[in-house]
Structure 1
Amino acid sequence: MYSFDYYNPTHISFGEGKIAELDNLVAKDAKVLVLFGGRSAEKTGTLAEVKAALGQREIVEFGGIEANPTYETLMQAVEIVKQQKIDFLLAVGGGSVIDGTKFVAAAALFEGEPWDILLSWGAKVTQAMPFGTVLTLPATGSEMNSASVVTRKEYQAKLSFMSDHVYPKFSVLDPSKTFTLPERQVANGVVDAFIHITEQYLTYPVNAAVQDRFAEGLLQTLIELGPKALSEPKNVDVRANLMWVATMALSGVIGRGVPHDWATHMIGHELTALYDIDHARTIAIVLPGMLDCRREGKQEKLLQYAERVWGLTQGTNDEIIDAAIAKTRGFFEAMGIKTRLSDYGLDASSIDKVIEQLEAHGMTALGEKQDVDLAMSRKILERNL
């Protein structure tokens, strides 16, 4: 296991009825900008519950943050922060709203062009506004980490940044708030969390037994409970466990002391930016081909994954790996998520555009060994036509 530092200051308030805790979590004299996505936060009553919990605090609302939060929309929120002299941000929604709020928190105090936050991967962020979250869609783990992904429509660019300055001060996780989610979003959340885990786990061994077993347990939990979340939508125990798995998947715990991949995400981001396909669905397209094309470098961990997660031990190494990849693809499909480019109306010509964007954004050496060049990225996408 590699040496590492681990820091995570986010206060988690977990359970039914925990939105009421906002009164204790937000300063009494705060002027709060509540950020959310579409109108579902209003329709479900969550927004009203949040406002009631905030009591007499002065509240300004900002809605309309997209499923892939855009720079253009978020900069409107930055202007409101400055004009209204906001001193606390509260994200009410899923990972997209939380990611967007992180960018607003950093951009509102940033000296210079805010786009540089993303171009520098967060290295230029020296301060950020305090903010909290009320999670309504478990998927990205953004409620307990320091990462954010933002799309700039003008450039068809989807870029990420990280900074210790944008950890949420707190996150409220009430599993009952996921009951009204459409099946599509529930499925997306399960698959998104699954691939977050594999990006930190399916690399190469470094004798990190705790991280490996933790990751494997999380994957098995998703495999067990993901279908139940669709068939038993009001099962609060299922939703609670899935919510916590998604948070743990990207809280930093399983990723400390081990190599990371993230090539699947980088290629998936380009598919989303170009073709407006849900994030979880683009990475579900990419991952099976990624594992297939890179089986040699990932062989030890793929065999471990096959045995410990799927119980596969019979056959040659290649046969076991083939079966593990087929099981992975089958799980995504069982969750209602298609895994081929053709399922989304894309063909070989679409791959050319993705490769062009990867090159334009400097994504020419991806993966845990930085060996996924543009030719390999093309091969991976072709494997998933």
Structure 2
Amino acid sequence: MLNFDFYNPTHIVFGKERLNELDKLVPQNAKVLITYGGGSVKKFGTLPKVTEALKGREVLEFGGIEPNPRFETLMNAVDVVKKENIDFLLAVGGGSVMDGTKFIALAANYKGNDPEKILMGGAGTVEEAVPLGTVVTLPATGSEMNMGGVVTYNGGKLVFMSPLAFPKFSFLDPTLTYSLPKKQVANGVVDAFVHTTEQYLTFPVDGRFQDRTAEGILQSLIEIGRKTMDEPEDYDTRANLVWNATMALNGVIGSGVPQDWATHMLGHEITAFYGVDHGQSLAIVLPSLLRLRKEGKKAKLIQYAERVWNITTGTDDEKMEQAITKTEEFFNSLDVKTKLSDYGIDASGIDLMIGGLEAKGLKALSETRDITLDVSRQIYEAAL
């Protein structure tokens, strides 16, 4: 097992009908800015419940944070924070709202005139952030219990990380996710699944707890993925999706093991240039990437085949191919297609995406840094 530090200060409040407990967790004298995306938090009654729980405090709202939150939108919120002397942020929504709110928390106290540098490796220069909490309405990203985020800037999706961005608390009420469209639920299942494989399908370092926990998450998502789409108000099934999505990216399964993240980096370019949903982009990239990197990931791919998919017969090559095919079939069973052509993208788009990777300096991806731009091109080509 590799050396590691583990730190996660987020207080999780899990279960139904607990939003009234916001009153205990948000300081009584706080001036609160609630951030959210579209109108669904109003339409389905989540926002009124939140504001009722915050009664007695001065509360402002900032809506309109889009999927793949844009830097310009978030800077408008930063202006509100500064002008109104906001001292607590509460994100009500899914990963985009939570990621965007983390950026707002950091940018509001950024000392320079170029807050975009937070997205370019400069998050560590921020010395203080506005405290934030979250109310999760879409299980997918794990942003409710980690220190990272992704923001769209100049057409690209850029990652930032800072310990100051950990939420103070996060409310995970599975019933708040019942109204989600099937498509969003499916994307969330895929996102959590690939978050897990990015930390698991690398190379062995005898991280037994991490491996078994990752395998448990993957098996759980396989078991509940379609059911939670078809039976959205089955509480136990949806509760398992919510908690698995959180555990997939809160640092536990990634501590002390190598991590990949090439699937995400390649997927970000598909989203940036073609507007394909994040979960869909991951489903496109992962099978092709695994096929092209079979040798480098051989030991873990065979372990994945045997432990997650119960594939115990055949040659090593047959086991690996069956496991990758099973993964594709799982994504397709969620109505998430796995080819670029399924989204109207042909070979002419590959140059654009390779150019995007090159512009960001993403020329040596994966846990072993062996995915060059040429290999990235091959992965995209194999996904056509």
Q: TM-score range by the shorter chain?
A: over 0.9
2:83 is aligned to 83
1:25 is aligned to 25
1:353 is aligned to 352
Whether 2:321 is the aligned partner of 1:322: answer yes
Q: SS state of the match for residue 301, structure 1?
A: helix
1:116 is aligned to 117
Q: SS state of the match for residue 67, structure 1?
A: coil
Amino acid across the alignment from 2:312: T
Off by >3 Å, runs of 4+ in structure 1: none
The range that moved more, 30-39 or 226-235, is 226-235
Q: SS state of the match for residue 310, structure 1?
A: coil
2:148 is aligned to 147
Q: What CA distance in whole angstroms lies between the structure 2 residues aligned with 1:85 and 1:274?
A: 37
Q: What CA distance in whole angstroms lies between the structure 2 residues aligned with 1:208 and 1:150?
A: 32
User: 1:355, CA displacement in angstroms?
Assistant: 0.2
Q: What CA distance in whole angstroms lies between the structure 2 residues aligned with 1:314 and 1:127?
A: 55
Following superposition of structure 1 onto structure 2, how do residues 369-380 of structure 1 map, counting pairs within 5 Å? 369-380=368-379
Following superposition of structure 1 onto structure 2, how do residues 248-263 of structure 1 map, counting pairs within 5 Å? 248-263=247-262
User: 1:19, CA displacement in angstroms?
Assistant: 0.9
2:51 is aligned to 51
Is the CA contact 2:13–2:169 (under 8 Å) kept in the aligned structure 1?
yes
Is the CA contact 1:116–1:124 (under 8 Å) kept in the aligned structure 2?
no
The range that moved more, 180-189 or 121-130, is 121-130
2:69 is aligned to 69
Q: SS state of the match for residue 194, structure 1?
A: helix
2:294 is aligned to 295
Is the CA contact 2:269–2:353 (under 8 Å) kept in the aligned structure 1?
yes
Q: What CA distance in whole angstroms lies between the structure 2 residues aligned with 1:48 and 1:315?
A: 57
User: 1:119, CA displacement in angstroms?
Assistant: 0.8
2:104 is aligned to 104
User: 1:313, CA displacement in angstroms?
Assistant: 1.6
Q: What CA distance in whole angstroms lies between the structure 2 residues aligned with 1:196 and 1:86?
A: 33
Amino acid across the alignment from 1:206: V
Amino acid across the alignment from 2:332: E
Q: SS state of the match for residue 34, structure 1?
A: strand
Following superposition of structure 1 onto structure 2, how do residues 125-164 of structure 1 map, counting pairs within 5 Å? 125-152=126-153, 155-164=154-163
Q: What CA distance in whole angstroms lies between the structure 2 residues aligned with 1:239 and 1:57?
A: 32
Q: What CA distance in whole angstroms lies between the structure 2 residues aligned with 1:163 and 1:104?
A: 12
Is the CA contact 2:174–2:239 (under 8 Å) kept in the aligned structure 1?
yes
User: 1:230, CA displacement in angstroms?
Assistant: 1.3
Q: SS state of the match for residue 186, structure 2?
A: helix
Q: SS state of the match for residue 99, structure 2?
A: helix
1:235 is aligned to 234
Amino acid across the alignment from 1:28: Q
Whether 2:41 is the aligned partner of 1:41: answer yes
2:367 is aligned to 368
Q: What CA distance in whole angstroms lies between the structure 2 residues aligned with 1:75 and 1:310?
A: 45
2:211 is aligned to 212
Q: SS state of the match for residue 5, structure 2?
A: coil
* RMSD between superposed Cα atoms in Å: 0.7
User: 1:120, CA displacement in angstroms?
Assistant: 1.1
User: 1:222, CA displacement in angstroms?
Assistant: 0.2
Amino acid across the alignment from 2:231: E
Structure 1 residues 207-240: Cα deviation after superposition (integer angstroms, max 9, x where no partner): 0000000000000000001111012111011111
Q: What CA distance in whole angstroms lies between the structure 2 residues aligned with 1:127 and 1:317?
A: 51
User: 1:124, CA displacement in angstroms?
Assistant: 2.3
2:13 is aligned to 13
The number of residues matched between the two structures is 383
Q: What CA distance in whole angstroms lies between the structure 2 residues aligned with 1:123 and 1:171?
A: 23
Q: SS state of the match for residue 129, structure 1?
A: coil
1:171 is aligned to 170
Whether 2:3 is the aligned partner of 1:3: answer yes
Amino acid across the alignment from 2:359: A
Unaligned runs of 5+ in 2: none
2:338 is aligned to 339
Is the CA contact 1:228–1:238 (under 8 Å) kept in the aligned structure 2?
yes
**Identity, % of aligned positions:** 60
User: 1:121, CA displacement in angstroms?
Assistant: 5.6
User: 1:361, CA displacement in angstroms?
Assistant: 0.5
Change (3 A) 1:121 1:300: farther
1:246 is aligned to 245
User: 1:125, CA displacement in angstroms?
Assistant: 2.5
Q: SS state of the match for residue 152, structure 2?
A: strand
Q: SS state of the match for residue 148, structure 1?
A: strand
Q: SS state of the match for residue 339, structure 1?
A: coil
Amino acid across the alignment from 1:147: G
- What TM-score results when the alignment is normalised by the length of structure 1? 0.99
Q: What CA distance in whole angstroms lies between the structure 2 residues aligned with 1:259 and 1:379?
A: 23
Is the CA contact 2:106–2:123 (under 8 Å) kept in the aligned structure 1?
no
Q: SS state of the match for residue 137, structure 1?
A: coil
Q: What CA distance in whole angstroms lies between the structure 2 residues aligned with 1:330 and 1:72?
A: 39
Amino acid across the alignment from 1:304: Q
The range that moved more, 225-234 or 91-100, is 225-234
